[in-house]
Chains A and B, each alone.
Chain A
């Protein structure tokens, strides 16, 4: 290695202790792996309840999904961090939010008895509790690139869009945001919100690289050219596209 200062990306992993179901840590592992392969150091900082975020420090934010009780705890704390997170998003920090974390970026989650769990209104979406759980393998197509993405969904909340926001992908198989309009996730500035776990990123290296690329671009850097051996990733992805349940 040369004496040049090593490229570093800073990632804030929000609430790993509370929002840690469905293998979300796999997303961080994938980001770290593909950063390391290119000689980029990915520095992961965990942020738990009551801990402050140094807003301008982070290039990438990640928030996963949790169970109802944990999600309520997180919702309250996230409101305290609202302004930091919104200004990070405004300055084009990359944000990957999965499932429960995705819902909390919106306006609210309304339960069956009409109670509203307030979100941080970073994106113009809202979620209503649904009657039945949407569970199963999902295949969808990213709207901006046409790339296919695979994952697994497990949610009862149905997410709807306000005005001026765009979904992330078109559903080929599965329910997606609400099981009604055929779309999945949200793409707003550099925010990626989605119901897909699985984990999402390991089997979708295209999306992982996209996140790294956006984080570098924001710093005026380019993604180092490098061919990574994706043989296992590609077969796992192809096999997932054939699963019909």
Chain B
């Protein structure tokens, strides 16, 4: 009977996927799985995986999609049969859709590697249904606090997911104290940075309260404030507890130095006392972490994938610049960069303001998927834009909140062009540009979906 319900659910999902694709109805990466799960609650449990199939979950606040893509690309380059879920499809419904599409009509999946970008809160639901072999965690930042409550709640959800199975091997960001010291007896590998750059005291001491947004600064063991020798990005860094002596774990995978030009990131990876060089066409410290997490995962889950495979897969990634997507509007170049939390948005601004002839459009929505609470805008370092001379276009349902944020970042009111209609605002922005300029569009999640629906953004993007 169970088997019958499963097959019925599976076929329904398959037929729905097909119909959605034929009639271009959108929602293809979530809806079929959602229906299957509504027909059978433990739908995912019934798939038959290959005996040596490895299931790898990537979770954390920022960089899940990029890391998932890096990892999948490298495994594919090494000729491993690999599947992964599209970004934005990281809840159970998205994973169920992926499984339904990739399985044969009997529910058998014959791939060797299944890479699942997974929302933090979904992890415990997922480990209930399928056997996971590895979990890679990127970082934890405040993100949609109104959805999950607080970071303390998020880490507990992740722990709950992990602690259902002692055999899951963890690949953890040692530079994020809360992740490095998450509560679990499982086997752990650690990755982290050992580079020179550090942003401690980058702000004058008079304006400490305007510094970059930061998360956890207290010791996971004794709750006293951690002392950072270096901070590479927000609260990610090399730390020690002055009270109980807890320190960043020994690194199994580390980046020892890096160099960046306008479009490329070069770095050296040290593991098992061997140093090797890589480069990728991306910029920003965020992507250094994403590449590192991906390499740590690759080397853990598939030891026979070589550095050559990895480098080749990085190079084939050239169409993706940073976390962005390139589009052309009326012969003018634009890039879309999703923004969704204070740290991510601040890093995007820091990276983009360094680019000559940059122009900006910011679109803020407060739909459920964006987070209802727009107070995070006040934690973003929009003051980075205060020396920007040109108009800044703001749009979305909360365009006026965004405009207000810019005003209080000392951007002149005359420079702020407000239009809550996304498409009109974009048209105005493009019209105002000259040919040498590049427009950077920074939308929240549902504003990006809107651009996608209007055919402006492609169907795939990175988060």
Which of A's residues lie within 8 Å of B, judged by CB? 13, 16-18, 20-26, 28-30, 33, 44, 46, 49, 67-70, 72-73, 133, 135-137, 152, 154, 156, 197-199, 202-203, 229, 231-233, 235-236, 239-240, 243, 245
Contact = CB atoms under 8 A, between A and B. Distances in A.
Contacts of B405: 26, 202
A66 B377 CA distance: 17
B81 to A, nearest CB: 43
B208 A46 contact: yes
5 contacts: A20-B379, A26-B408, A29-B378, A154-B145, A236-B400
Contacts of B366: 243
Given A72-B223, A202-B404, A236-B404, A67 B375 contact: no
Q: State the 6 A-B residue pairs at the shortest beta-carbon distance, nearest first.
A: A23-B378, A26-B378, A23-B375, A236-B400, A16-B209, A67-B150
Contact of A69 (B142, B152, B413): B152
Given A16-B208, A67-B150, A23 B408 contact: no
Given A16-B209, A26-B408, A68-B150, A235 B378 contact: no
Contacts of B407: 33, 232
Contacts of B182: none
Interface stretch (B210-218, B268-276, B345-353): B210-218
Contacts of B206: 44
Contact of A17 (B152, B214, B377, B409): B214
Nearest to B207: A44
A137 B372 contact: yes
B150 A236 contact: no
B374 interface: yes
A133 B149 contact: yes
A233 B404 contact: yes
B400 A198 contact: no
Listed residue (A21, A49, A136) with the most chain B CB atoms within 10 angstroms of its CB: A21
A236 B401 contact: yes
B379 A25 contact: yes
Interface size class of B (residues with CB under 8 A): 35 or more
B195 interface: no
Contacts of B209: 13, 16, 25, 28, 44, 46
A99 to B, nearest CB: 11
B225 A199 contact: no
B145 A232 contact: no
A135 B153 CA distance: 15
| Dominant SS among interface residues on chain A | mixed
Contacts of A243: 366
A20 B378 CA distance: 10
Contacts of B401: 203, 236, 240
Contacts of B462: none
Contacts of A202: 378, 404-405, 408
B403 interface: yes
Contacts of B208: 16-17, 46
Contacts of B413: 229, 231-232
A232 B400 contact: yes
B207, B213, B400, B409 interface centre (most CB from chain A within 10 Å)? B400
Contacts of B409: 29
B378 A154 contact: no
Nearest to A243: B366
Given A28-B209, A73-B223, A73-B225, A235 B400 contact: yes
B373 interface: yes
Given A16-B209, A23-B379, A29-B408, 10 more contacts: A26-B378, A26-B408, A29-B378, A69-B216, A69-B218, A70-B217, A73-B224, A152-B375, A232-B416, A239-B398
Contact of B145 (A21, A70, A203, A239): A21
Contacts of A46: 208-209
Contacts of A152: 146, 372-375
B375 to A, nearest CB: 4
A240 B400 CA distance: 10
A118 B221 CA distance: 22
A30 B216 CA distance: 26
Contacts of A133: 149
B145 A69 contact: no
B223 A203 contact: no
A26 B378 CA distance: 5
Given A25-B209, A239-B400, A154 B379 contact: no
A18 B217 contact: yes
Nearest to B209: A16
B409 to A, nearest CB: 8
Contacts of A30: 408
A35 to B, nearest CB: 12
Nearest to B418: A232
B423 interface: no
B151 interface: yes
Contacts of B377: 23
Contacts of B321: none
A121 B208 CA distance: 29
B372 A68 contact: no
B376 interface: yes
A107 B375 CA distance: 28
A28 B374 CA distance: 17
B152 A67 contact: yes
A26 B398 CA distance: 16
Interface in B389-425: 398, 400-401, 403-405, 407-409, 413, 416, 418
Given A67-B152, A199-B375, A22 B145 contact: yes
A227 B247 CA distance: 54
A22 B404 contact: no
Nearest to B206: A44
A190 to B, nearest CB: 22
A43 B81 CA distance: 61
Contact of B404 (A24, A135, A203): A203
